[in-house]
Structure 1
Amino acid sequence: MTDHKTPVVLDGHNDVLLKLYRAGGLSASESFLTGRDGAIDAISAKAGGFGGGFFAVYVPSPSNLELKFEEMSKASYALPLPDPIDWEDAFPVVMAQAAILFDLEKRGALTVCRTAADLRAALGAGKMAAIFHIEGAEAIDADLHTLEVLYQAGLRSIGPVWSRSTIFGHGVPFRFPSSPDIGSGLTDHGLRLVKRCNELGIMLDLSHLNEAGFWDVARHSSQPLVATHSNAHAICPHSRNLTDKQLAAIRESDGMVGLNFAVAFLRDDGRMLADVPLEQMLRHLDHLIEHLGEDRVGLGSDYDGAVVPEDVTSCAGLPKLRQAMAKHGYDDALIAKLCHENWLRVLEKTWGS
């Protein structure tokens, strides 16, 4: 691994579809191939050995991001939860972002993968592999009709909530310091969503669920527990991070956690400041490996959706992270597991082959 561009990274979470949606929708797709002002595009992916991952479809709340980031740069904060979003408002946004994903596939920028075999084939052929993921289930109706249709279109992963509440459950607000034990758990609609996702083979992402919702999924789901982009609460006591008790449940289910690059969830002080050394990311990886085992930890960058460490501001910087892993003492086999093999393992278990 002299160039540190391999093994390729299959990433647990990115928000590039939201960025393209805000930049003009389908008319912005071309910038993904030619280069854009962001963390992920075809050129940066080739430079950094980014093989693909979970492409999130997310309905944004009206908010002042500069004000939010300014508040999260303080020593402590407790941002209020955004208001819920109605199905009628969420559905067209989800359709628009999904259309961007499939337009990127039509342009040859990526391959939308519906099976683990699809993922292996795409990675083996050097094609960017994309998993259609929804972050926050506002566009899923109570009867789950939308879920059925989106599954046929390629949806293979869903988070029942982002931080705001849905008809399915409740997320955690952005608080530091704070436990994730905030609010009530899944609703009856949420329990039905868990059951149907298990039946279809749609992976449930627990990253933004509050602790009560996490334990409801743990009790009712027959599939591995997965948090695509979350970190260790023992290192950074942020409401978004996972306690050691939650990590133990994930290990018992043979699930996994993807390391979130968002600096507020990495830093001991929970502040949204980008001067985070790679060693801090490795501290979280060490903790996750200690509590989950080497087969249940991966990467979940949150690229194009968060402030990330200065050394890895785009996927072109991923060789620096691989190099830091090797210098830290991770051998080639472990680095390959962290980069993509563990995601393939848990998805094969969830989706089937």
Structure 2
Amino acid sequence: MTKFKLEYIWLDGYTPVPNLRGKTLIKEYDSFPTLEDLPDWGFDGSSTQQADGSNSDCVLKPIRVFVDPARKNGALVLCEVMNPDGTPHASNKRATILDDDGTWFGFEQEYFFYKDGRPLGFPEHGYPEPQGKYYTGVGFKQVGSIARQIVEEHLDLCLECGINHEGINAEVAKGQWEFQIFGKGSKKAADEMWMARYLLERLTEKYGVDIEYHCKPLGDTDWNGSGMHANFSTEYLRTVGGQDYFEALMKAFEENLEDHIAVYGPDNHMRLTGKHETAPWNKFSYGVADRGASVRVPHSFIKNGYKGYLEDRRPNSQGDPYQIASQILKTVASVPTAASAAA
């Protein structure tokens, strides 16, 4: 029998952006535990904005388990928060979202490294050289001395624990980086994004650097904000597609603009101004290879007969990937396909 360190991880009740929480349970197993081996556990919800002090018990229900590469005999146990009666807690968005394994999502998580209250590499007063050289930059002048150490170590941790991490790069602003996560289905893709965020935040404890997820941390300046662009593709988009269906889909996205913006992350009005990365938050647009549009259409999508994937550029870096993926899927599901129209 081996004593395993089980890190139970969940999302708290803070709004509009939940925080990741975690605590360790030690249990003995003959081998690495499966999801079925893991017991429900509990925590004090009055300390996480999830219960009153007079009735503070909340339940952690394991829903995914990963190897913890940073701990000997460690496991990362992603949990949903439940009420004592077994019903999903009000803060548990995962339990109620729309899901479909045939809808694939690729999230591009942008963020800033922060130290001493400013982006990593910014001088104590004023600004560094204007952005331009930092995107995919190489060398100390562009990316500094420790950022690449952190992102490379984070990449290794994600791959070792089985997260479908697909790449990293320095972003447009100094101190800004990005990683990409891919998954099939709303829950799977979002699970792995939240776990990747957890591993990154835990890693910064080692380096004394913070992660800033705010979508526009430098305010109304010419420095880029941070998004979490959502690439998506349904089975129908991959195999059938077609111009008529695509145009009907874009019309549905325009008609549901407010529903999308409501779950695409707080403070998006600060980022989606029309001046920089994408269209204004209250206007919908799409265009081929247009990074200034709400939805960017890849050249390959058009060349393949309006088949493939699309990129919604509006979700921001603070957004909850569960709700983002679910809203995209909900809008896609509202558009009849040729097969359903014929029936």
Is the shorter-chain TM-score for this pair beyond 0.5, marking a shared fold? no
**TM-score normalised to the size of structure 1?**
0.29
Counting strand residues as a fraction of each chain, which structure ranks higher?
2
**TM-score normalised to the size of structure 2?**
0.29
